[in-house]
Chain A
Amino acid sequence: MRLLDDAPMDPEVAAALDAIDSTLAGEAVDPQYAELAELALLLADDRPAVDPVFAHTLDERVAGQFGGAAREAERPSRRSTWSGWLAGGAAATLVAAVVALFVFVPGVNHASSSSSSSSSAASSSAASSAVGTTSSAGGGAASEDATPHRTSSGAAASSAAAPATTSSSGPSGQTPQPQPDGRKTIQSAQLNLSTAPSRVDDVAQEAFNVVGQENGIVNRSSVTQTGNADGNAFMQLSVPSSALAQTMTKLSQLTYAHVASRTDNSQDVNNQYVQAKRRLADAQALRTSLLKQLANAITTEQVDSLKAQIRDAERSISSDESALAALNHRIAYSNISLTIFAGSPPPVTATHHGSSGFTLGKATHDAGRVLVVAAGVLLIGLAVLLPVAAIAALAWWVGGMVTHRRRERALDLA
């Protein structure tokens, strides 16, 4: 029945329609349309009239605005139901977006993104000989200031915290701590930090402080502050393996430094350790046996021969003990190669860990992060909402079409 084309009307049809309209308007029409006019008048006069009682009732209802809001509250409209569903869906999506952001986006729930990988290599004690992970953070352009050139270098010269006795005494009293699965591993790490040219000294001092707090040793250090982009510092650190992860975390969060890259290494030396202990035990058993034989020796030749064997055994024991002690030291203490270079702009994370109070810089940084997180939440929310909205719109359109077809069909069947 519905005609979609809009072809021009037949002039005869247009004239007949004009005659109908003229008739309804009470105007005279051409005699050739008299029959049509009469039919139109009969149809118009036969229109159903409104019952006065119903008209009065409806007038009152309209005047009362159909019971006002109370009735609408009793029977919420389809639109408000839809609005409720949409609002609920939007709220749920927003919550999901916030949760997803905090779970999956690094840097939102962690102080430093690059420190999160520190323990993975440290705790890895698999049978593989070496396991390492590397993470990098971007650097930046240099911001320079005019700080006088100054250079200091030397073994443990800059270490205010690392006692010299510790650095040379070895692991006395500090036996290797067994790993969770009992295997012996040697751990090491490399950390590259960037900082402002004027902050190389400060960062180096902070690193020394961290090493001191963790009972570590500064094996070697070299600090060069020029005030320009060529300023740098290098440190060879040794810290108790049990404190390696914590030390790396602290070094990654120095106030004025920004992690440029970080590498954690782990080497399984369990077999080597067991063999060294076995060799030592064998040598000690041999010496004990020789001493017993010496006590029972009668001839001078026997005594001399046994004494020579005992000396050999004691040398072997001494050598094995040294090897085992060195291995224990490497297991108990982990090496950290720390490089600090100038050239990056002042790191954003610096303001996070400072112990000072509220500053404009911190406030700006925090405001920036809030905006970034808000934008992220908005973006994720949109990414979730847009497909949902598209599906809802499609469903709404299809529903409307189906309802329309059903209505038209009902008219056809009436």
Chain B
Amino acid sequence: MNRFPRRSEGVTGTVATPDQGAQQTSWERFEQLYRSSRDDVFAYVATLLGDRSTAEDVTELAFERAYRRRRTFDRRRGEERAWLFGIARNAALDELRRRKRHATLVVDPEDPAADGPDDGAEVALARTMVRQALSTLPAREREIIALKFHAGLSNAELARVLGVSESNAGTLLHRTMEKLRKACNATA
């Protein structure tokens, strides 16, 4: 299932410096993880929270927590990216809990510039349609979309973060995509 290279390595501006086989300190491993995952974590958290400013705080908090716990990482329990996204997820859910307690929901207004100046009208329209359809999904399904398409996790990593089996993660993803597709068609 995980036959393609990690999307974040090719798409984001961060620098991936694989150092396989070498003896790395926990700091070096963390720094490498940070470089390869910074934008992915932010994208995931921003999609989940719908608030860029809070997403920045939560992203920073997630990396700080990961830095503090870097020595406790156990490779036998999964890959570092899944571990990192687990931490980010907990931080984001804590933020959701905090929001619930304060009874305020802050959602960024849509950024018109996000479509990009070079996008054609048809593409922009399709993107808007997908955004609207995405907003109709429950948060749990938006999270799956965010982990898969914004954070670029493989299905195995997705399963690890969500705490389900890989086949179940795949089924959930497929179900969510079908739901999103129908929502898009309904919007159209």
Residues of A whose CB lies within 8 Å of any CB of B are: 1-10, 13-14, 16-18, 20-22, 24-25, 27, 35-36, 38-40, 42-51, 54-55, 58, 61-62, 65-66, 72, 77, 406-408, 410-414
Contact = CB atoms under 8 A, between A and B. Distances in A.
Nearest to A2: B164
Contacts of A72: 68
B84 interface: no
Per DSSP, are chain A's interface residues mostly helix, strand or loop, or mixed?
helix
B174 A17 contact: yes
Given A35-B181, A39-B184, A46-B127, A13 B171 contact: yes
Counting contact residues on chain B (CB < 8 A from A), the size range is 35 or more
A47 to B, nearest CB: 4
Interface of B: 1-5, 7, 11-13, 27, 31, 34, 38-39, 42-43, 46-48, 52, 55-56, 59-60, 63-64, 67-68, 90, 93-94, 96-97, 99-100, 114, 126-127, 130-131, 134, 138-140, 143, 145, 148-150, 152, 155, 162-165, 167-168, 170-174, 177, 180-181, 184
Contacts of A9: 167, 170-171
A20 B174 CA distance: 9
A410 B100 contact: yes
Contacts of B94: 407, 410
B23 to A, nearest CB: 20
A42 B130 contact: yes
Nearest to B144: A1
Given A3-B171, A54-B42, A58-B38, 13 more contacts: A6-B165, A14-B1, A17-B155, A39-B177, A39-B180, A43-B130, A44-B7, A51-B56, A55-B13, A58-B59, A65-B67, A412-B138, A412-B140
Given A6-B165, A13-B170, A17-B174, A1 B140 contact: yes
A39 B188 CA distance: 13
Contact of B97 (A3, A39, A407): A407
Nearest to A1: B140
A39 B170 CA distance: 17
A48 B55 contact: yes
6 contacts: A7-B167, A21-B155, A27-B4, A43-B130, A45-B127, A66-B64
Contact of B130 (A4, A24, A39): A39
6 nearest A-B pairs in the assembled complex, by CB-CB distance: A25-B4, A407-B93, A414-B139, A47-B150, A48-B46, A3-B168
A406 B93 CA distance: 9
Contacts of A410: 93-94, 96-97, 100
A16 B177 contact: yes
B172 A21 contact: no
> Binding site of B, secondary structure by majority: helix, strand, loop or mixed?
helix
Given A3-B164, A13-B171, A14-B170, A49 B39 contact: yes
A35 B129 CA distance: 14
Nearest to A46: B127
A26 to B, nearest CB: 8
Contact of B177 (A2, A20, A62): A20
A407 B90 contact: yes
A2 B181 contact: no
Given A36-B181, A62-B63, A43 B149 contact: yes
Contacts of A51: 52, 56
A18 B1 contact: yes
Nearest to B98: A410
Given A1-B140, A24-B7, A43-B145, A62 B67 contact: yes
B57 to A, nearest CB: 10
A408 B97 CA distance: 9
A411 B139 contact: yes
A3 B96 contact: no
Given A42-B130, A48-B47, A17 B97 contact: no
A42 B126 contact: yes
B51 to A, nearest CB: 10
Contacts of A16: 174, 177
B38 A2 contact: no
A291 to B, nearest CB: 107
A46 B1 contact: no
A46 B180 CA distance: 14
B165 A44 contact: no
Nearest to A14: B170
A277 B64 CA distance: 95
Contacts of B143: 411
Contacts of A20: 148, 173, 177
A73 to B, nearest CB: 13
Contacts of B12: 50
Nearest to B64: A66
A33 to B, nearest CB: 10
Given A72-B68, A406-B97, A58 B27 contact: no
A6 B60 contact: no
